[in-house]
A and B are shown apart, each in its own frame.
Chain A
């Protein structure tokens, strides 16, 4: 059957001309194919990594300024059997922050206890946070069931705790943890609430024992009473005693615009009040902006690499098309003698180039979508394929066909018909 639509006929002709030299045509498309595939794959991996980073930062709370205690560098390496090191944020810092900073909603204290958490024969090592009721609203975490720590728990120094989803599931695989007791070190706490996980439940890896990620919360007053602020660590014959009032302070700011100002104020205050640099200020909003900037630079670099590889692919196609035009000089002469106008010849060769580059683009998209899937399955790295990436990559490869096909097609169309017919 003869195809009637002139365009489809030209496309079919282009395809059959290309199929005359299958291997050559295939090799020609490889440049564009790998260019497109690598761009899509790199974008997907980059997007996944950056999304993961941004999610982690977002979990810290973009309206928070987080102050942390940092163990200062030990300048004199003493060989004493017992060393006492007091450092970090103090209750005074907390009081000052609450009183002097404007526009602050809460200042949430956090003390971390390095103890194991057990229930019957199950043991794990979550972060045990001694904190106050405001912790929940400041961090934006959500209860799944039960209740969070209350002011009354704080006043009465109640032995109660709230578990994160992962910890609850690990310690109580067959029953609801609410109302049950868990052991922290040598103390017992009653579970009053469970938090919702931060990611959809299906995505939480089911891990075992010490690897359980997550945390549990107990009232700060209870923690202070039971465990104190002094922590003792045995280390090859010597004892390290550290004393830290608070490991973390979460300053929850009312308006996001005030975050940089509060952060500066916090730095100034800590700088003034602490002799040593035993603190750090973490501003999730700044980290987020920095992460976005990093991603922007990454995208620019990636875009340039993509541009170069597609350019190389385009030049490869142009090279082959120029050879094809020379090879088919006689065909061009015949067509011209039979009534083909210059534009017919231009379209014929342009379509052929676009079929080549379009095929390269299409196969490149397919490969580019397969690579992230494999990376995710094997390396467990999150990848994100945005719908724009494959669409854009395909359109660009078609555009490359047009751009790099124009010159060979123009050469073909401007041959002298008589000369072309005499060509061997």
Chain B
């Protein structure tokens, strides 16, 4: 809780605020959130619609910055980073999975998985091999040259997970990752998350569905931009 960063802290929020300017009125989406996520933890971030879940996840994923307070990833405060450094951080340390899969339609499965590698300074030797391994692991081995429109929702989300993992990020962030899937497919995706958690990956999963949220170790419950409760699942 104190200022001295805990050794295994991967993401630290200190009184984080995010206000949106809507003309003359300001909307506080996050209103002083302080929390530390540690290595290997599996959290779900829950709350009703509009409670600030996505805003929080965007800040955690460094696509957005707090308007107040401080956020540190891997010990580095994001407020002082340049746009390029933030991009580098996203590419190297953060893996995103979105509700609507967000694959790039003109690329095939293999190329989609490799997109985060393209923005590294150098093309590593292991990249393609690793992409194939990951595809196999999420169950897409035979579909490497398919394009996103030829795949089902569940398959697209598997591609997205493989893509999020390609650079071996320290945190996997998912915003309503199962929100567009039927319950059986959702379950298959959540099983992949369970496995990743078992392997020691840090996972932060935004959801508003309680049965999804309960698969995580812990639940961080938001209400009106503040932490409402922290629940340990057992």
Q: Which residues of A are interface residues toward B (Cβ below 8 A)?
A: 2, 4, 6, 9, 13, 16-17, 20, 330-331, 334-342, 344, 417-418, 421
Contacts and interface: CB of A to CB of B under 8 A. Distances in A.
B17 to A, nearest CB: 16
A337 B119 CA distance: 11
Contacts of A4: 123
Nearest to B125: A4
A345 to B, nearest CB: 10
Nearest to B163: A338
Contacts of B90: 336-339
A341 B105 contact: no
B61 interface: yes
A340 B61 CA distance: 14
Given A2-B128, A337-B63, A338-B91, A330 B123 contact: no
Would you list the 4 A-B pairs with minimal beta carbon distance, nearest first? Answer: A339-B91, A339-B119, A341-B87, A417-B63
Nearest to B113: A2
A379 B203 CA distance: 76
Contacts of B61: 337
Given A338-B163, A341-B119, A418 B64 contact: yes
A13 B83 CA distance: 24
Interface string B71-99: 00000000000011001101110001010
Given A16-B106, A337-B96, A339-B87, A344 B119 contact: yes
Contacts of B88: 339, 341
Nearest to B169: A339
A336 to B, nearest CB: 7
Contacts, number: 70
A17 B106 contact: yes
Nearest to A420: B63
A48 to B, nearest CB: 45
A421 B61 CA distance: 13
6 contacts: A6-B118, A334-B98, A335-B104, A336-B87, A337-B102, A341-B88
A421 B64 CA distance: 11
B23 to A, nearest CB: 16
A342 B87 CA distance: 8
A27 to B, nearest CB: 19
Interface string B147-178: 00000000000000001000100000000000
B115 interface: yes
Nearest to A9: B118
Given A2-B128, A6-B118, A339-B88, A20 B102 contact: no
Nearest to B101: A334
B contact residues, range: 20 to 34
Given A9-B118, A421-B63, A330 B102 contact: yes
Interface in B91-138: 91-92, 96, 98, 102, 104-107, 110-111, 114-116, 118-120, 123, 127-128
A336 B84 CA distance: 10
Contact of B98 (A2, A418, A421): A421
Given A339-B88, A339-B167, A340-B118, 10 more contacts: A6-B118, A17-B106, A335-B104, A335-B115, A335-B119, A337-B90, A338-B96, A341-B83, A342-B84, A342-B87
A342 B84 CA distance: 7
Contacts of B83: 341-342
B63 A338 contact: no
A2 B111 contact: yes
A340 B96 CA distance: 13
Contacts of A418: 58, 63-64
A344 B61 CA distance: 19
B110 A2 contact: yes
A390 B140 CA distance: 49
B105 A20 contact: yes
Nearest to B115: A338
Nearest to A424: B100
Given A6-B118, A341-B88, A418-B64, A334 B106 contact: no
Nearest to B92: A339
B4 to A, nearest CB: 30
A338 B123 contact: no
A280 B143 CA distance: 87
A338 B119 contact: yes
Contacts of A338: 90-91, 96, 115-116, 119, 163
Given A13-B106, A17-B106, A418-B63, A340 B111 contact: no
Contact of B119 (A16, A330, A340, A421): A340
Contacts of A337: 61, 63, 90, 96, 102
A421 B104 CA distance: 13
Nearest to A343: B84
B125 to A, nearest CB: 10
Nearest to B93: A339
Contacts of A339: 87-88, 90-92, 116, 119-120, 167
A217 to B, nearest CB: 75
Contacts of B107: 13, 16
A96 B45 CA distance: 112
A152 to B, nearest CB: 88
A16 B105 CA distance: 10
B58 to A, nearest CB: 5
B102 A421 contact: yes
A338 B96 CA distance: 7
Contacts of B118: 6, 9, 340, 344
Q: Which of B119, B127, B163 has the most CB of A within 10 A?
A: B119
A334 B102 contact: yes
A252 B107 CA distance: 76
Nearest to B64: A418
Nearest to A338: B116
